[in-house]
Amino acid sequence: MLENFLLYLTTEKRYSQHTIDAYERDLNQFIHYAEVKKINEFNELSSTFIRGWIVQLFEDHKKAKSINRKLASLRTFYKWMRKEEIVSANPMAKIQGPKNEKRLPAFAKESELHTEKLDELYADSLNGKRDKLIFELFYQTGIRLSELIDLRVQNVSSESIKVIGKRNKERIIPISKELHHQIHSYLSAKNQQLGESPYVFSLKFGKKLYPMLVYRIINQYLSIATNLDKTSPHVLRHTFATHMLNRGTGLETLKDLLGHANLSATQVYTHNSFAQLTSIYSQTHPRGGKK
């Protein structure tokens, strides 16, 4: 039932496989709830029925963010069906999702990210070099998990890396000489032990890393070095952004480095940056600490 729509997302919208998988899961959940057997039966579903699904999701203890993602999937699906003249009306036009909770991105402090801690944790073996490099790439470039896994050797230069972001958008991110040397050193060791691969990070026989392995690598360090509840690779992306802003990077520049489609996605980090500025002000201004 969904094959043509998923093919549309792949070929025309050029969404990543991760995004397509999420769409498929969300829509299959709705199809199961609606007990739809044939695609033309979507014509019979009303906005009232969809609101009932939203209520059911809340009763299943789904969070607002998760519900809004599912509604976004359904909204895109209905737009496609209208375009293909499968349905005559779009009930999603009358649907508003619940308000998301506003949470500040979690990030590590600069004092928690010492190189010495990395050296102690990651041994001087091939896997140790790999794990340390993965950590440094996340923290020094702010790339996403999927971008790191898909990073190709040919897209690494002495001054930058080229990554393929969401919707296959390319962006160039500068890197330091030290980080380039670290990449070159790891690749030399990896090629000797595992053989060459088009990907910077690979397993035996040139296979790409899988996400859970990267999660474990980053979780190991962040669980030891910080008190953060979240210890995923994305925390290092938030950390990169927050530390860049704290040291004077402009929002437009940060937006380009992160690969955000619009500035509103980047502005969330200004809250963390303002907290840092407030702390500095209270410590350094002659009257800053007075109430």
Q: Which of these is catalytic: 237, 238, 243, 255?
A: 237
SS (H, E, C) 161-220: EEEECHHHCEEEEECCHHHHHHHHHHHHHHHHHHCCCCECCECHHHCECCHHHHHHHHHH
Long-range contacts of 161-170 (CB under 8 A, 24+ apart): 161/137, 163/259, 165/259, 166/16, 166/19, 166/259, 166/261, 167/13, 167/14, 167/15, 167/16, 168/14, 168/16, 169/259
Would you call 171 a catalytic residue per the annotation? no
Q: Is 269 among the residues known to form the active site?
A: yes
Q: Catalytic: which of 129, 130, 132, 260?
A: 260
pLDDT in tens, 28-75: 999 999 998 888 888 889 999 999 999 999 999 898 989 999 999 999
- Residue 160 in 3-state DSSP? strand
Tokens standing for residue 170: 């390319």
Digit-coded pLDDT (tens) for 165-176: 887 889 999 999
What is the C-alpha to C-alpha distance for residues 147 and 153, in angstroms, rounded to an integer? 13
User: Which residue out of 109, 117, 166, 208 is catalytically annotated?
Assistant: 166
Q: Is 237 a catalytic residue?
A: yes
Question: Of 78, 139, 186, 269, which one is the catalytic site residue?
Answer: 269
In this predicted structure, the answer to whether residue 290 has a pLDDT above a threshold of 60 is: no
For the chain, the domains span 3-94, 110-282
Residue 57 in tokens: 């999701």
Task: Given the residues 69, 79, 117, 234, select the one marked as catalytic.
Answer: 234
- Look at 1 and 27; give whichever has higher pLDDT: 27
pLDDT at 13: 87
Q: Over the stretch 234-288, which tens digit does the pLDDT of each residue have?
A: 999 999 999 998 888 888 999 999 999 888 888 877 766 655 556 655 666 566 5
Q: Is 186's pLDDT higher than 70?
A: yes
Whole-angstrom Cα distance, residue 115 to residue 216?
19
- Answer yes or no: 260 catalytic: yes
In the set 129, 132, 144, 238, the catalytic residue is: 144
Q: Which CATH superfamily hosts domain 3-94?
A: Tyrosine recombinase, N-terminal domain (1.10.150.130)
Mean pLDDT in the chain?
A: 88
The answer to whether 16 and 166 have CB atoms below 8 angstroms apart is yes
**pLDDT, tens digit, for every residue of 137-149?**
999 999 999 999 9
Give me the pLDDT at residue 291, please. 46
Read off the pLDDT of each residue in 109-132 and give the average, rounded to a whole number.
82
Whether 166 is catalytic: yes
CATH code at 110-282:
1.10.443.10
- Beta bridge partner(s), residue 164: 170
Is 132 catalytic? The answer is no
